[in-house]
Amino acid sequence: MKKAVVLLSGGMDSAVTLFYAKKKGYKTYCLIFDYAQRHKKEISFAKKIAGISHSEYFVLKIKLPWKGSSLLDKKIPIPKDRILDSGKIDIPPTYVPARNTIFISFALSFAEAIGAKVIFIGANEIDFSGYPDCRPRYFKKYNELLREATKTKGIRIEAPLLNKTKKEIVCLGRKLDVPLGLTWSCYKGGKSPCNRCDACRLRTKGFQK
């Protein structure tokens, strides 16, 4: 059976991406990151989702001691009630410097080690916070790099949700029987979602529409 590595955060987009990969016939291996994120709570949700999907998973603990993000540094406030317009949006302090580049690099090593040819990531550039590493040009360039980076040839990144709205992602999740109620999006990681950070508001937007 063909194998795939799935970057699984515990959020809605990555969960839908995991079930999408399963639907495409891949044996899925999930890579979950503990990078001292403020919303570390998402890790337990990711484990549950991986288990429900019958996927083997690994939790990789890494340190980013230089911080540089409100998701890593509690002294930097998480923005509330921002205007979310993908055409004009500024990159918020929740951006973690080069996070996707770091995560995909680990996933690439994992994929080559187990003989997987695809790395799935739940990135989205329609209803998103404006992160530069969630854009089509970024993944195009990274795939070009992958052709030169490893002994194993043919490994590629796929971002099936890249051009979907949150509404379309919710609809796809329901179609794939994703347990959306077992996903966590809130950046604050409190007892319940704050409903004011970008992640909460984008998630709510998807369900409302």
Q: What is the DSSP letter of 49?
A: H
Give me the percent of the chain exceeding a pLDDT of 90. Answer: 87
- Output the pLDDT for position 194: 96
- Output the pLDDT for position 89: 65
Which position has the higher pLDDT, 8 or 147? 8
Tens of pLDDT, residues 48-75: 999 999 999 999 999 999 999 999 999 9
- Output the pLDDT for position 91: 87
Give yes or no for residue 85 having a pLDDT over 80: no
Q: What is the DSSP letter of 14?
A: H
Tens of pLDDT, residues 125-183: 887 788 899 899 999 999 999 989 999 999 999 999 999 999 999 999 999 999 999 99
Give yes or no for residue 83 having a pLDDT over 90: no
Options 3.40.50.2300, 3.40.640.10, 3.40.50.620, 3.40.50.300; CATH of 3-208: 3.40.50.620
Give CA–CA dist 3/117, Å, rounded.
Answer: 7
Domain residue ranges in the chain: 3-208
Phi-psi region of 70 (alpha: psi -120 to 50; beta: other; left: phi over 0): alpha
Give CA–CA dist 144/30, Å, rounded.
Answer: 23
